[in-house]
Amino acid sequence: MSPLRIAIVGFGKIARDQHVPAIAATEGAVLAAVASPNTSLAGVPQVATLEELLRNGPPFDAVALCTPPQVRRDQAAIALAAGKHVLLEKPPGAMLSEIGPLLTAAVAARRTLFATWHSRVAPAVEPARLLLAGRRITAVRISWKEDVRVWHPGQAWIWQPGGLGVFDPGINALSILTRILPQPLFVTSADLAFPANRDAPIAATLRLADAAGLPIFAEFDFRQTGPQSWDIHLDTDQGPVILSSGGAKLSAGGVQHVVAAAAEYAGLYRRFVELTATGEPDVDLTPFQLVADAFLLGHRRTVEPFEDAT
């Protein structure tokens, strides 16, 4: 069987650091081209845009859209109309309402639309889900705090409408939470801190619950210096369970569980290859819905302006 020929559209930090090595490590996949106006990859055909790729580029079967979320809907629609499978970086778009028509188009064309959540593929997430299945969870606390200047240097799109601000990393925590908890969740309150000169929040606190009233408190912050935190702490009837390092580590009752190291993006691409074999879609919008509800329900506070040091 011929390998799935994948073109990366948008070639920034995440594409170079994660997508390129993941494709190289995935059996049945090969990087066919890059579409980016400003950057290239040695040994790989490069054009400026998806449209140019479709007109003049090498043959390919699928696109991985690593562009900012504000432009992904148009690109996904173009790719699906051209008969290509589509992988969407997270979040899948700038708005919830734009994903439904894309899914309809994908099903009609018998092409895969894959809305990815890379943190769900972190090595300790599935072990945590299985562990928690036999316990009663009584409370959840999330601390997802990082330095935006380190992880998103000079990325103006993240501060623009549709860029999500601190929810760009925060949605990773929500993607894990909605995977490991057994019941659907909803937002009960939100506090959003917007820099005076930006259109997206730099920090947020959320309270969530499930139908049984499970209390969940989440703190997201882009202003963290020093140690970074990507942790989910769950109180259970058999002691605490902690997912740390973004889902890479698991401890329960003070005992560290050994989990096999795994590359998140390689897991996504293995799944993508499987899906494209049949044209099956995989689109779970639950984490995105929680972020949208936080914006709808949230109290907005204005804080000091943010200036990117770069």
The superfamily (CATH) of domain 120-261+292-303 is: Dihydrodipicolinate Reductase; domain 2 (3.30.360.10)
Residue 104: partners with Cβ closer than 8 Å, 6 or more residues away: none
The 10 Å Cβ neighbour count of residue 156 is: 11
- For residue 254, the model assigns a pLDDT of 79
Question: What is the distance between the alpha carbons of residues 181 and 234, in angstroms, rounded to a whole number?
Answer: 10
Query: What are the per-10-residue average pLDDT scores of the chain (310 residues)?
Result: 93 92 95 91 93 94 96 97 97 95 97 97 95 95 96 92 96 98 96 97 98 97 95 96 95 78 88 96 97 97 88
Active site residue 90: yes
The tokens of 226 are what?
Answer: 């020093």
Question: What is the distance between the alpha carbons of residues 105 and 279, in angstroms, rounded to a whole number?
Answer: 12
Cα dihedral 122, 288, 156, 35, rounded to 10, equals 70
Which string of DSSP letters, residue by residue, matches 208-275? EEETT---EEEEEESB--SS-EEEEEEEETT--EEEETTTTEEEETTEEEP-----HHHHHHHHHHHH
User: What's the pLDDT tens digit per position in 265-277?
Assistant: 999 999 999 999 9
Q: What are phi and psi of 295, to 5 degrees?
A: -65, -40
The tokens of 76 are what?
Answer: 């996904």
The tokens of 254 are what?
Answer: 């003070």
Q: Where are the domains of the chain?
A: 4-115, 120-261+292-303
Tell me 74's DSSP state.
H
Say yes or no: do domains 4-115 and 120-261+292-303 share a fold. Answer: no
The superfamily (CATH) of domain 4-115 is: NAD(P)-binding Rossmann-like Domain (3.40.50.720)
User: What's the pLDDT tens digit per position in 36-87?
Assistant: 998 888 899 999 999 999 999 999 999 999 999 999 999 999 999 999 999 9
- For residue 154, the model assigns a pLDDT of 87
Q: Judge contact between 80 and 107, C-beta under 8 A.
A: no
- For residue 253, the model assigns a pLDDT of 82
**Counting Cβ atoms within 10 Å, is residue 192 exposed (0-12), middle (13-18) or buried (19+)?**
buried
Element (H, E) at 174: helix 167-180
Strand partners, 242: 233, 251
Question: What is the distance between the alpha carbons of residues 207 and 142, in angstroms, rounded to a whole number?
Answer: 10
Q: What are phi and psi of 81, to 5 degrees?
A: -65, -25
When the pLDDT of each residue in the chain is averaged and rounded to a whole number, the result is 94
Q: Judge contact between 4 and 271, C-beta under 8 A.
A: no
Which strands sit side by side in the sheet containing 255-257, from one edge to the other? 255-257, 249-252, 241-244, 229-236, 137-145, 216-221, 203-210, 185-195, 299-303
